């Protein structure tokens, strides 16, 4: 992988990235800014996967400034997108990679050589990172959507193997040190390219294939690239970066194959040292689906025949991650990277109701009270940058098609609710002392003895030094043991 035609990023750009770099807090339950480790930090992220593919710079600025004004601290973006990557270049007319031999930079004929990144495409990534950092917002990058490693939900082509995954990772790590990296993307370490079709056909799911070596190679490339980049920096910048470690996790699917571990970073990569915090995707489903309720037009929508997390019960995944210790015996912060998106149909099915602002509030508080170190917001039109007025980038195909142009949904109720959640959490005394605690609630919490998901009726407790809180999603009364809620 050559980078000789790239203009090197400047010292000021690296300083900007370092100013918003992330790290696990010393409590191992929270995240923090690397440069301000003792400052309370609540991770509030937006999901804007297609920013670098479907937006021009003016539109990207509109998005980032809107999120910065609401107190969002992070925006997740994918470098090599899941939708339309072979049909359209970015809005400036640049494809992410040079084409493979025998192919052209032309819609319908483009197939990328992932060992030959296009400098002009990455110039736009540079500009987005720089603008966000200037506003105090971290851009977390997915190097590639998982479909190009495992087939994911959307099928072939599978483009990455251990060798080119490492080289691509090393290129990215060297160009973008101090940037958070999320591997995966709607897939799991243990997957099969025929998963989608098997689910849609109602067949037994296929036996899983271990794609871990490819993801591990990409992670190692990112680490080696970052280390090489830091080694080339001026001594004063090296001093500021002393102690920084590449920051990564894995973005899983919400469902998993029956012969595979649950889809959390810790379960899929139990012995890996590269992931910095644990994560899951609780997803967009209210319950397991049946043929009577939903047409299986999407892998997730037809996932009733394989295990999956349930969107109204994200606490189940969060609790498992919170109680899990890394192979070094120390826990890690945990976060739901993809809870249900606002203004999105449940199950991605037009036959089902949409997730609305109240669902964002209930889901967010449920995850926080279960121990999540923050909240990740998403809106269907914004994740894909839906714009039916675009003459260059047509809307993506059903069932995930949005209905409203993305810029009209920047100020939905759920986005404000997420902002308020952050403000409330940061107002609490002794922020880093907070822990989930159901034990001080003595009345019914709506949990069943058999482990059946409580959904959004769950009543949750949380406490810290000198305070305690209860979340009542539908109001009402609650009984607590004050000696446990506020121990002396």
Among the candidates 417, 432, 447, a domain finishes at: 432
Q: What confidence category does residue 140 fall into, taking pLDDT thresholds of 50, 70 and 90?
A: very high
Q: Determine the Cα–Cα distance for residues 321 and 266; give it in Å rounded to an integer.
A: 7
Give the residue numbers spanning the domain of 264.
Answer: 11-432
Interatomic CA distance for residues 248 and 352, integer angstroms? 35
CA-based nearest residue to 216, from 157, 151, 139, 271? 271
Does 308 or 115 have the greater pLDDT score? 115
Looking at the DSSP bridge assignments, the partners of residue 438 are none
Is residue 3 in a domain?
no
**Total number of domains in the chain:** 2
The pLDDT value recorded for residue 350 is 83
Instruction: Find all residues with CB under 8 Å of 305, minimum gap 6, and list them.
Output: 199, 202, 204, 205
Tell me the three state secondary structure of residue 275. coil
Type and span of the H or E element at 181: strand 181-184
pLDDT value for 156:
81
Under the banding of pLDDT at 50, 70 and 90, the label for residue 297 is: very low
**74-111 pLDDT, tens per residue?**
999 999 999 999 999 999 999 999 999 999 999 989 99
pLDDT at 287 over 80: no
Residue 1: the pLDDT is 53
- 100 CB burial (10 A radius; 0-12, 13-18, 19+): middle
Please indicate, yes or no, whether the overall pTM of this predicted structure exceeds 0.85: yes
Which of 385, 413, 432 is a domain's end point? Answer: 432
129-133, 304-308, 466-470: range with lowest mean pLDDT: 304-308
Same domain, 134 and 216: yes
Q: Are 371 and 457 members of one domain? A: no
Look at residue 488 in the predicted model and tell me its pLDDT.
Answer: 83
Q: Is residue 4 part of a domain?
A: no
Q: Does the residue 6 lie in any domain?
A: no
Binned at pLDDT 50, 70 and 90, residue 296 comes out as very low
Instruction: Return d(Cα 312, Cα 321) in angstroms, integer.
Output: 17
Q: How many CB atoms lie within 10 A of CB 325?
A: 11
Q: What is the CATH number of the domain that holds 162?
A: 3.20.20.80
Q: Tokens in use for 185?
A: 């993307």
Least confident of 297-301, 338-342, 418-422, 473-477: 297-301
Please report the pLDDT score of residue 292 as a whole number: 41
Statement to judge: residues 55 and 186 lie in one domain: yes
Residues 37 and 182 in one domain: yes
For residues 67 and 135, give the distance between their C-alpha atoms in angstroms, rounded to a whole number: 10
Say if CB 373 and CB 421 are below 8 A apart: no
pLDDT reported for residue 305: 72
Q: Is residue 2 part of a domain?
A: no
Name residues whose C-beta falls within 8 Å of residue 326's C-beta, 6 or more positions apart in sequence.
Answer: 266, 332
Same domain, 407 and 335: yes
Q: Is the pLDDT of residue 3 over 50?
A: no
Q: What is the pLDDT of residues 22-79, one digit of tens each?
A: 999 999 999 999 999 999 999 999 999 999 999 999 999 999 999 999 999 999 999 9
pLDDT bracket for residue 312 (50, 70, 90): very high
Contacts of 423 (CB under 8 A, 6+ apart): 71
Reduced DSSP (H G I as helix, E B as strand, rest coil) percent helix, strand, coil of the chain, to 5: 35, 15, 50
Whether 388 and 451 map to the same domain: the answer is no
The pLDDT assigned to 400 comes to: 84
Report the C-alpha gap between 348 and 273 in whole angstroms: 35
- Structural domain contains residue 102: yes
Question: For residue 331, what are the β-bridge partners?
Answer: 325
Closest of 240, 173, 228, 245 to residue 12, by C-alpha: 240
Strands 278-280, 190-191: pairing is unpaired
Domain co-membership, 159 together with 294 = yes
Question: What confidence tens digit (pLDDT) does each residue in 314-326 have?
Answer: 999 999 999 999 9
Instruction: Give the pairing of strands 97-99 and 74-78.
Output: unpaired
**C-alpha distance from residue 263 to each of 206, 280, 439 (Å):** 17, 6, 28
Phi, psi of 282 (to 5 degrees): -75, -25
The pLDDT tens digits of the residues spanning 354-380 come to 999 999 999 999 999 999 999 999 999
Same domain, 464 and 368: no
Q: Are residues 285 and 200 in the same domain?
A: yes
> 414 and 444 in one domain?
no
d(CA 486, CA 25): 24
Contact between residue 346 and residue 289 where contact means Cβ atoms under 8 Å apart:
no
Residues 289 and 424 in one domain: yes
- Tell me which of 129-133, 152-156, 276-280 is least confident: 152-156
Q: Is the pLDDT of residue 9 over 90?
A: yes
Q: Which two tokens stand for residue 278?
A: 């644990």
What ranges in 144-243 are assigned the alpha helix state H? 147-150, 162-175, 195-200, 212-231, 235-240
**For 131-145, 158-172, 190-204, 439-453, which range has the lowest pLDDT when averaged over its residues?**
190-204
Ramachandran angles phi, psi of 97, nearest 5°:
-135, 155
**295 domain residue, yes or no:** yes
Q: What is the pLDDT of residue 294?
A: 42
117 and 149 within one domain:
yes
What share of the chain has pLDDT > 70, as a percent? 96
438 secondary structure, DSSP code:
-
The domain boundary, picked from 408, 432, 456, lies at 432
Pairwise CA distance, residues 418 & 458, whole Å: 19
In this prediction, residue 288 has a pLDDT band, given cuts at 50, 70 and 90, of low
């Amino acid at each position: 992988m050559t980078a000789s035609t790239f203009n090197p990023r400047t010292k000021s750009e690296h300083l900007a990235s370092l100013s918003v770099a992330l790290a696990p807090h010393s409590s191992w339950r929270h995240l923090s800014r690397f440069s301000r480790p003792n400052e309370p930090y609540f991770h509030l992220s937006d999901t804007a996967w297609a920013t670098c593919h479907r937006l021009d710079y003016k539109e990207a600025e509109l998005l980032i400034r809107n999120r910065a004004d609401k107190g969002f601290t992070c925006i997740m973006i994918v470098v090599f997108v899941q939708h339309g990557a072979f049909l359209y270049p970015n809005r400036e007319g640049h494809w992410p990679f040079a084409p493979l031999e025998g192919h052209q930079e032309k819609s319908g004929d483009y197939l990328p050589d992932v060992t030959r990144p296009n400098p002009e495409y990455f110039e736009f990534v540079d500009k987005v990172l720089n603008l966000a950092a200037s506003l105090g917002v971290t851009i977390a990058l997915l190097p590639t959507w998982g479909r190009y490693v495992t087939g994911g939900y959307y099928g072939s082509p599978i483009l990455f193997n251990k060798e080119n995954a490492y080289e691509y990772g090393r290129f990215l790590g060297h160009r973008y040190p101090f940037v958070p990296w999320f591997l995966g993307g709607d897939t799991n370490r243990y997957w099969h390219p025929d998963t989608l079709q098997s689910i849609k056909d109602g067949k037994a799911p296929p036996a899983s294939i271990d794609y871990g070596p490819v993801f591990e190679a990409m992670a190692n490339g990112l680490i080696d690239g970052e280390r090489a980049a830091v080694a080339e920096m001026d001594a004063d910048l090296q001093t500021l970066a002393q102690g920084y470690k590449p920051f990564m996790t894995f973005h899983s699917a919400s469902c998993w194959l029956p012969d595979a571990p649950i889809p959390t970073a810790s379960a899929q990569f139990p012995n890996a040292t590269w992931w910095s915090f644990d994560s899951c995707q609780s997803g967009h489903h209210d319950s397991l689906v049946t043929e009577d309720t939903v047409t299986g037009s999407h892998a997730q929508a037809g996932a009733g025949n394989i295990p999956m997390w349930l969107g109204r019960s994200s606490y189940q995944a969060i609790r498992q991650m919170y109680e899990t210790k890394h192979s070094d015996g120390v826990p890690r912060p945990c976060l739901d990277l993809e809870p249900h998106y606002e203004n999105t149909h449940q199950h991605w099915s037009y036959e089902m109701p949409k997730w609305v602002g109240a669902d964002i509030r209930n889901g967010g508080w449920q995850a926080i009270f279960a121990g999540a170190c923050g909240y990740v917001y998403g809106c269907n039109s914004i994740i894909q940058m839906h714009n039916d007025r675009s003459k260059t980038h047509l809307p993506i195909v059903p069932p995930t098609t949005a209905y409203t142009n993305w810029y009209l949904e920047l100020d939905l109720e759920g986005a404000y609710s997420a902002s308020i959640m952050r403000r409330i959490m940061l107002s609490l005394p002794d922020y880093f002392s907070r822990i989930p605690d159901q034990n001080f609630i003595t009345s019914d919490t709506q949990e069943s003895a058999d482990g059946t998901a409580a959904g959004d009726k769950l009543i949750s407790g949380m406490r810290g030094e000198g305070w305690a809180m209860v979340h009542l999603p539908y109001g009402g009364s609650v009984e607590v043991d004050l000696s446990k809620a506020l121990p002396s």
